A = this chain, B = another copy of it.
């Protein structure tokens, strides 16, 4: 963070909101010309502050309106079991996010589905086949109230 000045931070905020802004537009908003803006972007990419550029799709239009959070507790906590779970989770394309949690629950999964029925099938046929799962506690979202894709910068 100390590697960033105010212009870098503003640049990151702009790009994380709209990656299609042209260098020209960015330069205008930052009060610079093309070259320094271009160089700053390349620098932020090389330093790893910018990891990638992606298109955000519409999950409703793609037929996956339901967001499910599934709290997973393992039966045993041997290193081998935990690592196996993490490896198996990577293979499940339905699992969009997986966090290793502190506390009672071991893992939190975020999953998008078209219906609860589909989710039921997923749990039954895929998730619950992973070894050593103790309890599953699923809740689903009725509505996304807020979803900012970016982090606070600055």
Chain A residues within 8 Å of B, Cβ to Cβ: 1, 12, 15-20, 47-59, 61-64, 67, 69, 86, 89-90, 93-103, 105, 107-108, 112, 139-153
Residues of B within 8 A of A20 (CB): 53
Residues of B within 8 A of A18 (CB): 52-54
Bound state CA distance, A151 and B58, in angstroms? 9
Residues of B within 8 A of A47 (CB): 61
A98 to B146, Cβ gap below 8 A? yes
Of chain B, the residue at the smallest CB distance from A51 is: B56
A141 to B101, Cβ gap below 8 A? yes
Bound state CA distance, A152 and B12, in angstroms? 28
Bound state CA distance, A153 and B112, in angstroms? 11
Residues of B within 8 A of A99 (CB): 67, 69, 141-145
